[in-house]
Amino acid sequence: SQTIHQWPATLVQPVGSPLSLECTVEGTSNPNLYWYRQAAGRGLQLLFYSVGIGQISSEVPQNLSASRPQDRQFILSSKKLLLSDSGFYLCAWSVPRFPAGNTIYFGEGSWLTVV
């Protein structure tokens, strides 16, 4: 069966510090990978998605970047965090095949507080 791991679960970072959140998926090949952000009391906002190694699409202009160095690894980064980067970050994957490909499977999330 497929599993998704995301870490760290929580972190508190000072403004201006770098960020690295990592996500790996097991039990599937060539998944679509996603990073979502959920601000307090709000819905999910898609930040990045990837359909293959080295292929990253950004949905919104922001202070963050994403990379996919391996087929089942997705990394969210920032060189200098802003207060507005605080939130709940969710990694997710889907099978690149309709209609099953439209179902997204989420990790447990990472709480980021920028102070």
Provide the sign of the torsion angle of the four alpha carbons 14, 90, 72, 26, taken in this order: positive
Which tokens sit at 58? 């950004």
Which one of the spans 12-20, 21-29, 43-51, 65-73 is the region binding another protein (CB under 8 A)?
Answer: 43-51
Tell me how far, at minimum, the Cβ of 70 lies from another protein, in Å.
Answer: 19
Contact between 63 and another protein by CB under 8 A: the answer reads no
Q: Which residues pair with 21 in a beta bridge?
A: 76
For residue 94, the SS3 value is: strand
Q: Which residues bind another protein (CB under 8 A)?
A: 6, 32, 34, 36, 41-44, 46, 49, 51, 57, 88, 90, 92-99, 101-109, 111
